[in-house]
Structures are given as structure tokens and as C-alpha cells.
Amino acid sequence: MGLVFGWRSAMLLSATFVLLPLSAALASSLRNRLANRTLAALTIVLIGVFTPWLIGFAGFYDRWRWLTFLPVAVPLLVPALLRFYVHALVTDTLPPRWRFMLVPGLAEFAFQVVSFCLPMPLKDRWADIAFSVVTPILSLALIGSFGVHMAASVRQLRRYRAALVNVVGDDARFAARWLSAAIAAFAILWSIWATVLIWDWLDPLGYTGLMWLYLMIASAALFLAIEGWRHANAPFPSLSSLERVPAVPAKGPARDWSRQGADWAKQTRLAGWASDPDIDVATLARLLGTNTAYLSRALNEGLGQNFSTFINGLRCRAVMDRLEASDDRDVLTLALDAGFASKASFNRAFRATTGMTPSQYRTHVAEAKNHGALPEMRRPDASLPSIPET
């Protein structure tokens, strides 16, 4: 029987040709090495998950029956590796007891290796038993594994983002929102995958009936690998450094944190320190001649803002001032000059500050000037009357 490379095999093979170079690029990345190598391993595992369908549609199993139980598809490794990637990205370490977390996937791999090595007559009989008994067990284990690991990953990302807003000026730059989207996609996808396998066990769907599912797996793998490669060299601050903020000493004279916060806000704005895209709480504290604990308290208690909101508010104020001064440069240029690292983070911060998009604000400014006045807008420093407008 000859091999036939139809559209099904071609689509999965095309995904493989994209994913393999991405894996190599991630594995050779010098920054975020642990996270990127973990993602490279995850990408290879995902290729393995849909490889049986790639070669199956081409007729490999019909021509070479001994390929049954070929040990390449180990979906139980995916939840653990995805969790490892999230943890390594934000902490530069693997989670505690990470070896134990690999046991289900390694057990699945060992089962496939042993089954693959069986003599052909015994393998045929064992395949019928395995499909009836082992496949449902592995499917249920996959659902449970994803539930545990994805919940832990989401908690880790929330903890990381909560720490980011108090330390870095552009938290959206490191919030890894694409990773949340990937986690959600994989959680939904693998729940569907396990459910379909159980359904297929009860009422066989046929080989072609499952093709759509493996195309979805390949698409999710492409999204995760491409986004991971795009952010491979981003200088993600580690969670331990974000949470390493000293406490304010209990002794000493009481301070008016509102006044202190207003004074430091004024210095920050006049000096233009917010225009540094890499500004963080430690850098600003050093520039102000204080420490991170006092600065954080002045912002949180005195101004009612976290560090990211404070810095992005000043940056938005700088853009608003340029728009009100009829600066005709495009808004993205103004945003980059003000210290924003990306258009997405600027748009999000500007809308939160003014209630409008930048283009809407520019239009309102022009209309207001035609009537001899500027529009009433929410301003990032509305609570800081001591900051001069000039």
C-alpha cells in the first residue's frame, strides 16, 4: 500500500516545519534561558502529540503496522511543561517538586515504549485492550492534570502581575497577557480533547472525525511558540525581586504621606523621569534620594496609586500636554517619547486615565479650541494640585 500525502497530512506537516525552527531558536536563546528551553521542550512534545495523525493520514500505519504504539504522542507531559514555562518565565526557576510533576507523562511514555516493543501478534491483541481500558484512564488523567497545573499557573501569573504594578512603570510590558490567552486556549482545548477521546471510546468517531481536533492542537502550539519567541528576550523581572520591598521602619517621626507623595510626584514630573521606559520603583527611589519602602508608601497611602498607575499617569499627562499644544506628530511617537514601550500599553493606560482613546482626545482638544476652551478630562494628577501645569 502506497503513501498518500493529502491535505490533512500537508497541514500538520506545515505546522511541524514552522514549529521545529521555532523550537531551535527558543532553545538557543541567551536570555530567559530556562523558560525558553522549557518552551522549546513543550513545542517538541506538542509536535509529538499530533505526529500520529500526520503520519496516519499519509498511510504509515497501514503500510507499516509495527508503528502501532509509536512512542511520540505524550499529551500528559503538556500540562506540566506549560506550568514549568509559566513558573520559569516569572521566577527563573522550576516549581518545587517539578520531577514529581513529570511522573504521569513519563508513565504514559513508558507505557507506549513497552507496548511498542511487543511482538506483532501480541501487539494487535493488546491494542484492542488498551483502547478499551487504558485510553479512558489516560483521558481522565489528562483532564485532572490540566485542572491542577493550569490553576497553579493562573495563580502564579496573578501573583506576578500584582507585584509588577508596584515596581515597574509599564506593567503591561511584562504582564504576559498572551500567556494567559494560551493557558485558556490549552485548558479548553485539552478538556475538549479528553472529552472527545472518551466519546470516541464509547462511540468511535473514526480517524477523519478527529482531524479538526488535531488541527486545533497544531494551531494552539503555533500561537504559543510564536508568541513565546516574540517575547523570548524580554527582560522579565523575577518575582523574588519584585516582592523584595523593605518594610518602612516602625520608629521615626510620623509623615504626611499625601504631601510627601505630592512632592515626589512634582519632582518626578519636572525632571521627566517617567519618560524612561525602564524606570522602576528602585530607580525612582534612588533618584528621589529615598528608599523603595518610603516611595511605595507615599504612592499607595498618600496618592492612592500603585507605581505603574502613577508612572503611566505622568506619561499620559505628557502626551495630553503635547496634544493640547497642537503637536502634529502621530500619537505613537508621542507615546514613545513619553516613555511607553508599546502602543498597546499606551492605549490601555490612556483610556484608563482619560476615558478616551488618544485619537478621540485629539479630536476633542481641537473642537474645544475652536470654542475657546479645553475639554474637561480626567487627569492623571488630578489629586495632586501642587504639581504645576508648566
Domain boundaries, the chain: 7-241, 249-370
**pLDDT tier at 373, thresholds 50, 70, 90:** low
Would you say residue 207 has pLDDT above 70?
A: no
Rounded average pLDDT over 331-354:
89
Domain boundaries 249-370, corresponding CATH code: 1.10.10.60
Virtual CA dihedral for 217, 223, 226, 229, nearest 10 degrees? -90
The pLDDT value given to residue 196: 76
**pLDDT tier at 382, thresholds 50, 70, 90:** very low
The pLDDT value given to residue 381: 47
Which residue pairs, CB below 8 angstroms and at least 24 apart, start in 143-149?
A: 143/190, 143/191, 143/194, 143/195, 145/76, 145/79, 145/80, 145/104, 146/79, 146/186, 146/187, 146/190, 146/191, 148/79, 149/79, 149/80, 149/82, 149/83, 149/101
| Selected residue with higher pLDDT from 200 and 186 | 186
Virtual CA dihedral for 272, 277, 278, 283, nearest 10 degrees? 10
In the chain, helix, strand, coil percent, each to 5? Answer: 70, 0, 30
The pLDDT value given to residue 372: 64
Would you say residue 29 has pLDDT above 80?
A: yes
Is there a common fold for 7-241 and 249-370? no
| Percentage of the chain modeled with pLDDT above 70 | 89
The pLDDT value given to residue 164: 87
How many helices (H) and strands (E) would you count in the chain?
A: 18, 0
Those residues whose C-beta lies under 8 Å from the C-beta of residue 60, and which sit 6 or more positions away, are: 3, 67
The pLDDT value given to residue 311: 93
| Percentage of the chain modeled with pLDDT above 90 | 45
Rounded average pLDDT over 293-304:
90
Would you say residue 90 has pLDDT above 70?
A: yes
Q: Tell me what the pLDDT averaged over the chain comes to.
A: 86
The CATH number of domain 7-241, selected from 1.10.287, 1.10.600, 1.10.3470, 1.20.1070? 1.20.1070
pLDDT, tens digit (0-9, with 9 covering 90-100), for 246-297: 655 555 567 788 999 999 999 999 999 999 988 999 899 999 999 888 999 8
Nearest to 78 by CA among 111, 54, 34, 43: 43
pLDDT, tens digit (0-9, with 9 covering 90-100), for 122-136: 998 898 888 888 888
**pLDDT tier at 389, thresholds 50, 70, 90:** very low
The pLDDT value given to residue 271: 92
pTM metric for this prediction: 0.83
The pLDDT value given to residue 176: 82
The pLDDT value given to residue 374: 56
Those residues whose C-beta lies under 8 Å from the C-beta of residue 68, and which sit 6 or more positions away, are: 61, 115, 116, 123, 124, 127
**pLDDT tier at 383, thresholds 50, 70, 90:** very low
The pLDDT value given to residue 2: 64
